[in-house]
Amino acid sequence: MMFKGYLKVADRCPVCREDLSQHRADDGPAYLTILIVGHLMAPTILWFFNAFRPDPLVTFTVFTVGCVALSLYLLPRLKGMIVAIQWAKRMHGFGKSA
């Protein structure tokens, strides 16, 4: 398990004891999450509003919940992906021999 919390990366892998403390994910996962959610939800909102003409408050409520849910789902997965890419490319101290 790479995470010991929702977004907190464990200091060491419990299986292989790889040191994960030097990762530098920073704002990358949040940026990618916003990019993906925005590109998925913006056209969907426009299509939904034009196709069904719901009350604007209904549209706001439905898509706010959808955006938040999708963001909460994607954020830890994208952070894991960025840490994994850093490990695979031996970036930020992952390639140092002990």
pLDDT at 93: 80
pLDDT at 47: 96
Alpha carbon separation from 22 to 26, 74, 82 (Å, rounded): 11, 22, 13
**pTM listed for this prediction:** 0.88
Which tokens go with 35?
């990019």
pLDDT for 98 beyond 90 = no
pLDDT for 63 beyond 90 = yes
Q: How confident is the model over 68-76, as a mean pLDDT?
A: 98
User: Which region holds residue 26: left if phi is over 0, alpha if psi is between -120 and 50, else beta?
Assistant: left
The verdict on residue 59 lying in a domain is yes
3-state secondary structure of 4: coil
**Residue 52 is part of which domain span?**
28-88
The verdict on residue 73 lying in a domain is yes
d(CA 45, CA 22): 40
pLDDT at 97: 58
CB 26 within 8 A of CB 79: no
Which tokens go with 69?
């849910």
The verdict on residue 45 lying in a domain is yes
The verdict on residue 20 lying in a domain is no
pLDDT at 50: 94
The verdict on residue 7 lying in a domain is no
Domains in the chain, number: 1
